């Protein structure tokens, strides 16, 4: 039995050595083989340099995939899984917010419970601000209403699964990767365990509000076509309202002889309809754009260097 730890690293120079040591001590005497697949996601600091040092020391089995530029965490996870050859795969961050000891528990759980294929950790307490937390909760409320996949709010992509699950995930070759949706889409029996995220040891989080926002939109567009239907509904609704108003106007004119001064109404209606149309074009545009990008069949990532002793 073998475990592969897939670790995306973006500007984590101060963390990779600590992370490596934490893994080594957590898995001491575990009784099975394990490897660490580091993916350097185009870091601009000494991450790759430090990873290579670990690689040369040969304390444990390490693979390094180094991207030609920053492709994002989702791409890094994909690349890592492609190079992982364990029977169990674990996705874990390099910043030690997720303790490697938990991975050991996850593996033990999968070993003793053949009915489960995935063990996913969710954060029971989060140290994030009220506004962000409100924003995240509303995002999950919206996406769970709109899409066919069900997303679990606190569930992170800190998880361990069987090789069969990994193969299913890799089969999903979409360019815009939204891993939470992908995990949910592939199915399999998932067991959830709580964990408390630790403070980042060093470095800063790579998530800005804008990145989170884009991630949210990716999630909704990638796993639902309901926004498109929403555009049709909106169109039908305005058509019906327009018809009703037309009848009202005709009756007013014919039976009550009311003059119809309509400057304000017209301006408001033009603005309203114009903005609705732009809004719907925007929605369609999101889908067209994604279709365009996917149709180019660009690779999800480009590796400039792969260090893997098993391949030589
Ligand atoms: N990461 C990455 N590419 C990116 C952004 C992040 O590989 O473009 C990695 C990062 O190095 C870390 C993990 O993804 O190992 C989680 O990132 P971060 O800690 O910034 O996210 P948070 O824990 O704040 O959600
Ligand atoms: Mg983190």
For 178-209, the pLDDT digits (tens) are 888 888 888 888 888 888 777 776 667 777 77
Can you give the length of the chain in residues? Answer: 312
Instruction: Name 77's Cβ contacts closer than 8 Å, sequence gap at least 6.
Output: 6, 8, 39, 91, 157, 177, 179
Q: Whose CA is nearest to atom 19 of ligand 1?
A: 205
Torsion angle of alpha carbons 213, 14, 193, 176, nearest 10°?
30
Q: Which atom of ligand 1 is nearest to the CA of 71?
A: 8
CB atoms within 10 A of CB 295: 9
When pLDDT is averaged across residues 287-302 and rounded to a whole number, the result is: 89
Ligand 1 contact, 207 CB (< 6 A): yes
When pLDDT is averaged across residues 128-147 and rounded to a whole number, the result is: 78
Please write the tens of the pLDDT for every residue from 238-251. 888 888 888 888 88
CA-based R_g, the chain, Å = 25
Best residue for ligand 1 mutational test, from 93, 180, 215 (most atoms within 8 Å of Cβ): 93
Percent residues over pLDDT 90 in the chain: 20
Confidence band, pLDDT 50/70/90 cuts, at residue 173? confident
Q: How far, in Å, from the CA of 2 to the mean position of ligand 2? A: 26
Percent residues over pLDDT 70 in the chain: 96
pLDDT, averaged across the chain:
85
* CA angle at 82 for the pair 71 and 50, rounded to the nearest 5°: 60
Q: Is the pLDDT of residue 95 over 90?
A: no
Q: In what order do the strands lie in the sheet with 61-67?
A: 190-195, 118-123, 155-162, 88-91, 2-9, 33-40, 61-67, 303-307
What is the C-alpha separation between 97 and 95, in angstroms, rounded? Answer: 5
Q: Whose CA is nearest to atom 8 of ligand 1?
A: 72
Q: Give residue 282's pLDDT.
A: 87
**Looking at the CA of 157, which ligand is closest?**
1
3-state secondary structure 11-61: CCHHHHHHHHHHHHHHCCCCCCEEEEEEEECCCCCCHHHHHHHHHHHCCCE
pTM: 0.80
């Amino acid at each position: 039995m073998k475990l592969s730890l897939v670790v995306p690293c973006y500007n984590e120079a101060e963390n990779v050595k600590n992370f490596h040591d934490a893994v080594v001590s957590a898995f001491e005497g575990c009784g099975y083989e394990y490897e660490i697949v580091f993916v350097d996601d185009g870091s601009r600091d000494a991450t790759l340099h430090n990873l290579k040092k670990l690689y040369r020391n040969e304390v444990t089995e390490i693979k390094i995939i180094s991207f030609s530029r920053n492709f994002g965490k989702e791409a890094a996870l994909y690349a890592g899984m492609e190079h992982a050859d364990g029977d169990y795969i674990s996705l874990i961050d390099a910043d030690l917010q997720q303790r490697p000891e938990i991975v050991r528990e996850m593996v033990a759980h999968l070993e003793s419970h053949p009915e489960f294929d995935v063990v996913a950790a969710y954060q029971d307490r989060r140290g994030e601000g009220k506004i962000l937390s409100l924003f995240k909760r509303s995002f999950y409320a919206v996406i769970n209403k709109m899409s066919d996949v069900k997303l679990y709010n606190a569930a992170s992509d800190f998880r361990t699964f069987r090789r069969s699950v990994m193969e299913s995930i890799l089969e999903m070759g979409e360019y815009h990767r939204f891993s939470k949706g992908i995990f949910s889409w592939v199915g399999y029996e998932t067991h959830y365990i709580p964990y408390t995220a630790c403070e980042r040891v060093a470095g800063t989080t790579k998530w800005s509000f804008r990145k989170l926002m884009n991630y949210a939109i990716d999630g909704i567009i990638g796993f639902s076509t309901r926004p498109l239907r929403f555009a049709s509904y909106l169109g039908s609704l305005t058509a019906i309202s327009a018809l009703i108003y037309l009848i009202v106007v005709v009756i007013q004119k014919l039976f009550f002889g009311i003059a119809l001064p309509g400057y304000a109404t017209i301006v408001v209606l033009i603005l309203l309809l114009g903005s609705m149309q732009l809004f719907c074009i925007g929605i369609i545009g999101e889908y067209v754009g994604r279709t365009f990008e996917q149709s180019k069949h660009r690779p999800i990532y480009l590796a400039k260097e792969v260090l893997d002793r098993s391949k030589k």
